[in-house]
Amino acid sequence: MQEMDELMERLEAITAAGRRAEEMTAEWSTRQFVGRADEGRIVATADALGTLTKLEISPLSRKRLDARRLADEIVAAVSKAEEAAAAAKDELMSNLRP
């Protein structure tokens, strides 16, 4: 009988861990991650998978930066957003491990 009780406890623990994993994944999947460049005047937003969903470029950045520098700053902002999403994914995965 003790063996059955231990198995039931394990099953309950596994079920609870599964629910926790589902909740954490659902919360993570709705998050958005932001990267900024050019002193915050360029803002890139990515979803949980690192896909760019929004890019805001200040008119001041457009005026004061040449095309190459503007492109570099945009890439920097997007990269920061992607890196934040990847870091959050890594954190989620490490928290899901037993």
pLDDT tens per residue, range 22-71: 887 788 788 999 999 999 999 999 998 899 999 999 999 999 999 999 99
DSSP string, the chain: -HHHHHHHHHHHHHHHHHHHHHHHHHHHHT--EEEEETTTTEEEEE-TT--EEEEEE-HHHHHHS-HHHHHHHHHHHHHHHHHHHHHHHHHHHHHH--
Quote the pLDDT of residue 98: 62
- The total of structural domains in the chain comes to 1
The domain spanning residue 14 has which CATH number? 3.30.1310.10
Quote the pLDDT of residue 17: 76
Give the whole-angstrom CA distance, residue 65 versus residue 87: 30
Give the whole-angstrom CA distance, residue 94 versus residue 26: 16
Note the pTM of the prediction, 2 decimals: 0.77
Range of the domain at 24: 2-96
